[in-house]
Amino acid sequence: MNIQEKEISHKGLTFVPYLAREKIAHEVKRVAQEISQEYKDKNPIFIGILNGAFIFCSDLIRNLEFLECEIEFCKVSSYEGTESSGNIKQLIGLKQDIKDRHVVIIEDIVDSGITMQGLINFLKEKNPASVKLCTMFFKPANLKVELKVDYIGMTIDPEFIVGYGLDFDEWGRNIPDVWILKKEQK
């Protein structure tokens, strides 16, 4: 499956090409450079949010210009199908002690912001030196809470997307390009 195809379908929904893998890779490198400048001497802890951010997290970490860092994963969710439910579930907890450490959350997409706001508040209770949020995709039109996103790969349209780690009911994470829900289906 590649971006040259006209459309792909799953469970009655049709998706069309939106972002090519080359554009995504370029933006990942740009964000990695920004983070490298800020954290090169700080030994940060990166927290990748499962399941969606695993590809972005891997690509981002490999593009950093320093070696001193730790990587953890945490699983939280507020999605049911194509909509954010607002119900936060911490499924896999944080193992590392983050007290007095610089923490960078790596997320695939910030949509409503509800999940990330809850996670940031949870992490701040553990007294880190700092907590910053990095997302590959940001939908400011869908934001429902006040939330500072420190590093943004791409600001995108409010429609539902799949690919590059993002899924529709666990389908599509492995697609290297990003596809958007065809508009007439809403």
Give the residue numbers marked as catalytic.
111
Query: Contact 179/15 with Cβ under 8 angstroms?
Result: yes
Residue 55 has a CB neighbour count (10 Å cut-off) of 22
Residue closest to 129 by CA, chosen among 37, 39, 36: 39
Say which amino acid occupies 35: I
**How many Å separate Cα 180 from the centre of its chain?**
16
Beta-strand ranges (E) seen in 99-170 are: 102-110, 130-138, 151-155, 161-162
Query: Contact 64/36 with Cβ under 8 angstroms?
Result: yes
170: number of CA atoms within 13 Å, CB side?
Answer: 0
